[in-house]
Amino acid sequence: MDQSPQGRLIGDPRNAPVRDSGVFRSFPLHPGGPVDVSGIGSFLSVSTATKDRATFELGDGALSIADLRADPVESSRLVCAVFEYLFATNRDLVSVALEGDGWQAFLPALKQRGLLVESTDAQPSVFAEMFWQMPEIWMASPSFVYPRRDVFDGRNEHPLRPPKPAGCLYARFIPWLSGTLSFHVASLDDLPDVHRWMNDPRVDEFWNEAGSVAAHRRYLEHMLEDPHVIPLIGRFNERAFSYFEIYWAKEDLIGPLCGAGDYDRGCHVIVGEGAFRGKPWFTAWLPSLLHLMFLDDSRTERIVQEPSAAHHRQLRNLQRSGFAHMRSVDLPTKRAAIMSISRQHFFSNRLWHPGVVPDEASS
């Protein structure tokens, strides 16, 4: 379905994959605990552990509230759960039109949060690209814009970075894997996994960091102390499978080579567990990692990577995932291809959905 001149919607929510008796479970969605969504015919039933519940109907190209039994706070969580379900399971769905009087109590809050788009000749609508920029849906603790103060670190000037976080940062239910992917700040408790993964020949081919437990302890301690890097452990249903480093690009080696902006970010990746390699996993963790970096600071407009320019399969993977090849440069350890993806491209093209991408282990 093409977008109307009024910008009503592309993709009919009636085509969303509502599954008979299926249950879509999501991580502490909209802080407060998990929300379940089950579909029967054209109806979506939503409930929480506290027995708050609601029923929504998809019909005539719009979403209406058939029944709602919850207090205002819980009602908001149930509504957001339905939006996430629809936008997470239907790649072609650009927006959802809101139909019926049942929405009247929600319209002011949705408008204030920047979710509602109103038009004089169309029903009010919630757009996927706006909804997926709400950090409170997927971030484990509230995200805020850290006040700006420029500092000089001896090499270049950049904004003062916020204190290092701890614990779980982000979680998202992955429909095609029927489980929850989460990112946690690494600690020395993760050393055994990091040590094992670094010594995996497939990982060492890219990272060149194979070594002793003591060496990897020093490595991890350095990452934990470095203000421009946050080391992360990726987990699926709480099982650790990967190590990531997200960094502020302006303070990094590639900052001057890619014209890094003040809030641009980059990432390095290790997928350490072989059972978690392959297209279904790649299309879960990479978009989720990008999503986390864009949500963490609303001023982040671009994310960069610098894989080896000789690693053609990895370059194809990134390009199929939405990255553009900016240039190739010589770094101390490799000739690298500078790859970049923008906030606008990621959200407007709904790149949290899986694309046609093969597997890659690390970068």
Cα distance between residue 126 and residue 114, in whole Å? 9
Q: Answer yes or no: are the C-beta atoms of 301 and 343 closer than 8 Å.
A: yes
pLDDT, mean of residues 128-132: 96
pLDDT at residue 93 greater than cutoff 50: yes
Residues designated as active site: 306
| CATH placement of domain 13-135 | 3.40.630
Grouping H, G, I as helix, E, B as strand and the rest as coil, residue 58 is strand
Contact 289, 241 (CB under 8 A): no
- Give the whole-angstrom CA distance, residue 194 versus residue 220: 8
Residue with tokens 């370059």: 315
Kind of pairing, strands 179-185 and 168-174? Answer: antiparallel
Return d(Cα 212, Cα 217) in angstroms, integer: 9
Q: pLDDT digits over 247-279, tens only?
A: 999 999 888 888 999 999 999 999 999 999 999
Q: What's residue 28's pLDDT?
A: 56
pTM for the model: 0.90
Does residue 141 register a pLDDT over 90?
no
pLDDT over threshold 80, residue 4: no
Render pLDDT for 166-176 as a digit per residue (tens, 0 to 9): 999 999 999 99
The model's confidence at residue 27, banded by pLDDT at 50, 70 and 90, is low
Q: How many residues does the chain have?
A: 363
Parts of the chain belonging to CATH 3.40.630.30: 157-348
**CA–CA gap between residue 79 and residue 12 (Å, rounded):** 18
Alpha-carbon gap, residue 266 to 282, rounded angstroms: 17
Alpha carbons 315 and 119: distance in angstroms, whole number? 42
| Whole-angstrom distance, CA of residue 43 vs CA of residue 65 | 10
pLDDT at res. 182: 94
| Single-letter residue type at 27 | F
When pLDDT is cut at 50, 70 and 90, the band that residue 202 belongs to is very high
Vertex 35: Cα angle to 184 and 7 (nearest 5): 95
The answer for residues whose C-beta is within 8 angstroms of residue 97's C-beta and 6 or more apart is 8, 9, 61, 62, 63, 122, 123, 124, 125
**Mean pLDDT of the residues in the chain:** 87
Q: What is the mean pLDDT of residues 192-211?
A: 95
pLDDT of residue 267: 95
Average pLDDT estimate for 283-294 = 96
- Measured CA to CA, the distance from residue 85 to residue 103 in angstroms comes to 18
Which tens digits make up the pLDDT trace of 100-126?
999 999 999 899 989 999 887 788 999
- Which of 60-64, 243-247, 322-326, 351-355 is modeled with the greatest confidence? 243-247
CATH 3.40.630.30 fits 157-348, yes or no: yes
CB 22 within 8 A of CB 38: yes
Q: What band does 3 get if pLDDT is binned at 50, 70 and 90?
A: very low
188: phi > 0 → left, psi -120 to 50 → alpha, else beta; which? alpha
